[in-house]
Amino acid sequence: MKEKMTLEQANLKLEKLVKKMEDGELGIEESMKCYDEAFKILNYCYEQLETYKGEIIDINKRIDEIKSKEDLFDE
């Protein structure tokens, strides 16, 4: 998977590949190519989710820091 895509685009492509494989009209070689591509897209999705998770954790830390500074002024 060489092109960059959004998580939504990757998910849509993954769904199309799965449908193509489930239709049962592919030969074994084409099925294996689809399976390999689906694996790569799934891996990409997991990497993106981990990135978003890290960003959310960082934002929450900054929010907590702001809250703790506000608490100092409230006392």
Spans of all domains in the chain? 7-74
What are the angstrom distances between the C-alpha of 31 and each of 12, 21, 45, 73? 18, 6, 21, 63
d(CA 13, CA 7) in angstroms, rounded, equals 10
Considering the entire predicted model, what is its pTM? 0.72
46-75 pLDDT per residue, tens: 999 999 999 999 999 999 888 887 766 665
**pLDDT score, position 56:** 95
Angle between the N-to-C axes of helices 28-74 and 7-22, in degrees from 0 to 180, rounded to the nearest 10:
150
2-47 pLDDT per residue, tens: 668 999 999 999 999 999 999 989 999 999 999 999 999 999 999 9
